[in-house]
Amino acid sequence: MVKVNLSNTFICLIVLFFALSMRVSGQNSTLKGVVKDVDGIPLIGVNVVEKGTTNGTVTDIDGNFSINVKTHSTVIFTYIGFAEQELVWDGNSVMNVVLREDSELLDEVVVVGYGESSKRNLSTAISKLRMSDVSSRNVSTTTQILQGQLPGVNVMLSNGLPGSRSNINIRGVSSINGDNQPLYVIDGIQLSKASGTYHNTGEYVQDPLSMINPADIESIDVLKDAAASAIYGSRATNGVVIITTKKGKNTKPQLAFSQLTGLQKLPEKMDLLTSDEYISLQKEAVQNHNSGLNLNPGDNGYINIDKVLGNIPNDYYDVNWQDLILNDNALSTQTDLSFTGGNQSVKAFASVGYFQQEDETASQYPKILGCN
């Protein structure tokens, strides 16, 4: 008779069951579904991503999606204008998702040419940038804040000097020889080029916003298309940049201080030849030229190496001009102090800012002191 140890057999079955469960839960399976809004309309282009990974897809024209994910993993659904939603997949093959509008995002107030409106009621191309989103950036001018922040807005520095002007192009260049700069409107006042210094092409020599402290700006709205900027007429051909500065609030007196300090350094320097390497390279080039054309001294086209190199001193030495010219640790600092407060009758806001930026190629640097 064969004796069977039931307790050991039972333990083995339990271990085998958990092992199979863990294997099944760790396998990838196909998750399918459809994404709609609260009215049952399919949403096109919804981002469907497995949380914590780069595994993702987007919904098609009918709102359908299909993605391979692990069982019991979290799937994130995101769509512009709608609240983000995270769902845990329980293993079922179909998942129907309903996204709701993000009321906070749609009710955000933007400044347009004829007043203010909410994003919910807008049908024109307008982008908004809040300074609270870029408060940690240490920049010298207001236009540099826009770099890489808004779609369709391209900011280019005219040169590498600290505090140099910036060129803003909205939706590309509209003219080859003419003016491509947008119209600037600061707190409802249009910045006229007639009172500024500019080239014969119409472009500014100096940044028109160089004297505005970036810390004093509340928000920047960019009007891109003709419908949004029509109220400004032909002056808004290249778009409109509307800047709203900070104002007093109905709050208790508040004093704010900020200090930003950074270092600027070139990512790498050019790898140049030494004096011996340069002389050897020139001799090789001249020799290849003369021998390749079978030229001898006195022939037309013959190159004399002494004329190429000139008078070489006996005690020549190497000089790394990059080390002598470039400043490896160019310091930039921005200091701001502001006061705000008031009541329903009187509101006040005052600020003072100091900006200093060293040049990476010289010892001179601008110092800007602004008051508001």
DSSP string, 211-255: TS-GGGEEEEEEE-SHHHHGGGGGGGTT-EEEEEE----SSS-EE
Give per-residue pLDDT as tens, 26-35.
567 888 899 9
Mean pLDDT of 221-249: 79
Give Cα 194 distance to the centre of its chain.
32
pLDDT at residue 203, rounded to an integer: 47
Residue with tokens 């002056």: 235
pLDDT at residue 159, rounded to an integer: 64
Q: Which two tokens stand for residue 361?
A: 């190629």
With cut-offs at 50, 70 and 90, classify the pLDDT of residue 204.
Answer: very low
pLDDT at residue 312, rounded to an integer: 84
Alpha-carbon span 169 to 153, nearest angstrom: 6
**Model confidence at 121: pLDDT above 50:** no
Alpha-carbon span 225 to 229, nearest angstrom: 7
DSSP letters of 83-137?
EEEEEE--S-SEEEEEE-B-HHHHT-EEEETTEEEEGGG--S-EEEEEGGGSTT-
Question: Over pLDDT 90: what percentage of the chain?
Answer: 11
Q: Which two tokens stand for residue 211?
A: 């004297």
pLDDT at residue 284, rounded to an integer: 94
List CB contacts of 208: < 8 A, sequence separation 6 or more.
165, 184, 191, 196
**Model confidence at 67: pLDDT above 80:** yes
With cut-offs at 50, 70 and 90, classify the pLDDT of residue 368.
Answer: low
**Model confidence at 249: pLDDT above 50:** yes
Domains in the chain (CATH in brackets) are 28-103 (2.60.40.1120), 107-245 (2.170.130.10), 254-267+327-371 (no CATH), 275-319 (no CATH)
Give Cα 228 distance to the centre of its chain.
24
| Helices of type H across the chain | 6-26, 103-106, 226-229, 275-292, 305-309, 321-325
Torsion on CA atoms 144, 194, 111, 130, rounded to nearest 10: 20
Alpha-carbon span 150 to 165, nearest angstrom: 19
Give per-residue pLDDT as tens, 139-195.
666 777 777 788 888 887 766 665 566 778 887 776 776 677 788 888 888 876 544
Mean pLDDT of 329-338: 84
pLDDT at residue 155, rounded to an integer: 81
Q: Angle at the Cα of 184 (from 111 to 147), degrees rounded to 5?
A: 85
With cut-offs at 50, 70 and 90, classify the pLDDT of residue 280.
Answer: very high
- Higher pLDDT, residue 174 or 354: 354
Q: Is the model's pTM score more than 0.85?
A: no
Alpha-carbon span 176 to 247, nearest angstrom: 39
List CB contacts of 344: < 8 A, sequence separation 6 or more.
250
With cut-offs at 50, 70 and 90, classify the pLDDT of residue 52.
Answer: confident
**Model confidence at 247: pLDDT above 60:** yes
- Higher pLDDT, residue 29 or 229: 29
Alpha-carbon span 149 to 217, nearest angstrom: 15
**Model confidence at 107: pLDDT above 70:** no
Give Cα 81 distance to the centre of its chain.
21
| Greatest mean pLDDT among 96-110, 113-127, 197-211, 345-359 | 345-359
What residues are paired with 220 via a beta bridge?
Answer: 129, 243
Mean pLDDT of 239-265: 85
- CB count, 10 Å around CB of 368? 17
Candidates 183, 182, 152, 163; CA nearest to 330 is 163
Give per-residue pLDDT as tens, 291-323.
999 999 888 989 998 888 888 888 888 888 888
Alpha-carbon span 48 to 132, nearest angstrom: 29
